Amino acid sequence: MPSPSIADPDSVPGNSVASHSVPTPESILPSTETSKKYPKGMNPKLRYIKPYWWPYKTFVKERWIGRQLLEVISTEFRDRSTEYYKHALDSGVTRVNGVTARADLILRNGDRIDNTVHRHEPPVTNDPVLILHMDRKREFIVISKPGSLPVHATGRYFRHTVLEMMESDYGIKAYSVNRLDRLTSGLMILALSGKAASDLAKEFMEGKVKKEYVARVKGKFPEEEITVDQPLLTVDRQMGLVIITPEGKDAVTIFKRISYDAERDQSVVRCRPQTGRTHQIRVHLQYLGHPIANDPLYSPPAVWGSSLGKGGVDLAPSSAGYSRAKALASRAGTAAPEGREADRERDNIDLTSPILLSEQARTIIMNLRKQKDEAEDWVKWNEVVFTAKKAQDELEAHAQAKAQQEPFTVPPLRGRQTNEQPTGPLPDTTPSPLIPPAYLPPGFCTDCFVPVPDDPDPESLFIYLHALRYTTEALGTWETPLPRWAGENWDGDWRGWVDGAEVPDVLAKEKEGETRQG
């Protein structure tokens, strides 16, 4: 399946595949700079990386079995248009079990999908990973993760991840102990060895770590302490949507207002999750009618209405909805759903949801997907038609050579588990194997011929949710400074910390100590 193309193909000096720049104080611009319009690929508040070729293999997931290849790719991934996926299949870029695959091929258990893509990693905010503490003897590091960065390689991201940037920016090989959502900033504990990571992660896995977050939410949050104990369930993996429903897992969060910003009609709230469910704080805040102010998933009125999802969604199953089994049956072979035109988008919602959904829930998911598609403007695909017959052939040799060094084993079928097998990016000098179209419109990548959108607004790459403090039995209590946006008299500049916050320079102190010992 082709990976997305979101980042600009031109790299900023110091922010290429070969090198990254660690932001300096001078590069962290004041709020007066936010309204400036920078040329594409040159926004100093963003970090870019040059696109690179990437071969990978993946085995079909349980829910893909019995469905057509093009239908699976276009509804499960959605990173490019259906037209693009069809062109990719017709040109031989995607193979199944080593053979060029037709769009209407029916996927079976054990099938392997091979693909080589030109990976365009999205820009991320140009905030550094802040190292708060380093204990080489006990093999752990405490950091503050910027919002917009995933922890591990996932989906569109490989080099723009916490673990990769720790190595590229600081020369530190680190292993994750706990995780934060990509959009969330704040405290993380990293290990300096795999064994230390396993040992340190036990408290997190057993739910023994006390966590404290801070969030900026819409509206005037009540002054009294509020506890929400509503169960949560992920109903759409494509958008990552979680709702409150009895079929969900138990979840408890305690909230307390810190301050109220009358000018913006927003509150800063302290959040203490007692359980560790996906999107727990975000969904519980929305349930109270006070979603995180810039949450792209749970706060847009165009998706949730004027109530902003307060009280949760309707749970009465839609009479028009299909059960998962029936939705899956409608995808087998070339069959269309019985008695009606194929509505692949709504069928896919029913197919991937673990429960029957209400019409309101289905409409919310549809609107979220539409919002995402409109933001990425895939209508540009109507402007270009191309063929790429020799794409896989010319890059297969490198993938096979690398696979011989690290043998690829067939993983067991495990339903929703991701089983992609990356082989690593190809050299920067790898020429494009694609045959260019007769005409390439402006704004398209000259290597893989996909449309490249404008730079994102840096403020849209994170949400106002920050992991502030962790208390563990093994490592004690650790906390970050308070983010600037959580200050009582916030000036609108979201970068950095509240005035007067002490930000340690751990690496400089470590080097100073080494110099003295030497």
Bridge partners (DSSP) listed for residue 244: 232
Task: Pick the catalytic residue from 79, 114, 127, 181.
Answer: 181
Radius of gyration, CA atoms only, the chain: 24
Backbone phi, psi, residue 244, to 5°: -90, 125
b (16+ CB within 10 A) / e for 455-469: bbebbebbbbbbbbb
Both structure tokens of 166 = 């720790």
Q: Is the dihedral of CA 311, 317, 322, 327 positive or negative?
A: positive
> What's the one-letter identity of residue 408?
F
Task: DSSP letter for 462, please.
Answer: S
CA distance 168 to 214: 29
Nearest in space to 157 (alpha carbons), one of 205, 208, 112, 120 = 120
Q: What is the residue whose two structure tokens read 């369930």?
A: 233
Q: 181 an active-site residue?
A: yes
Surface-to-core class of residue 408, CB atoms within 10 Å of its CB (0-12 exposed, 13-18 middle, 19+ buried): middle
Surface-to-core class of residue 393, CB atoms within 10 Å of its CB (0-12 exposed, 13-18 middle, 19+ buried): middle
Bridge partners (DSSP) listed for residue 117: 54
Angle of helix 344-352 relative to helix 324-331, nearest 10 degrees, comes to: 130
User: CB–CB of 41/48 below 8 Å?
Assistant: yes
CA distance 145 to 478: 14
The backbone region for 182, taken as left when phi is positive above 0, alpha when psi lies in -120 to 50, beta otherwise, is: alpha
> What's the one-letter identity of residue 435?
I
Query: What does DSSP say about strands 253-261 and 465-472: parallel, antiparallel, or unpaired?
Result: unpaired
Bridge partners (DSSP) listed for residue 115: 56, 94
CA distance 507 to 205: 29
CA distance 35 to 234: 37
Q: Is the dihedral of CA 482, 485, 490, 494 positive or negative?
A: positive
Q: Is the dihedral of CA 392, 396, 397, 399 positive or negative?
A: positive
What positions carry a catalytic annotation?
Answer: 181
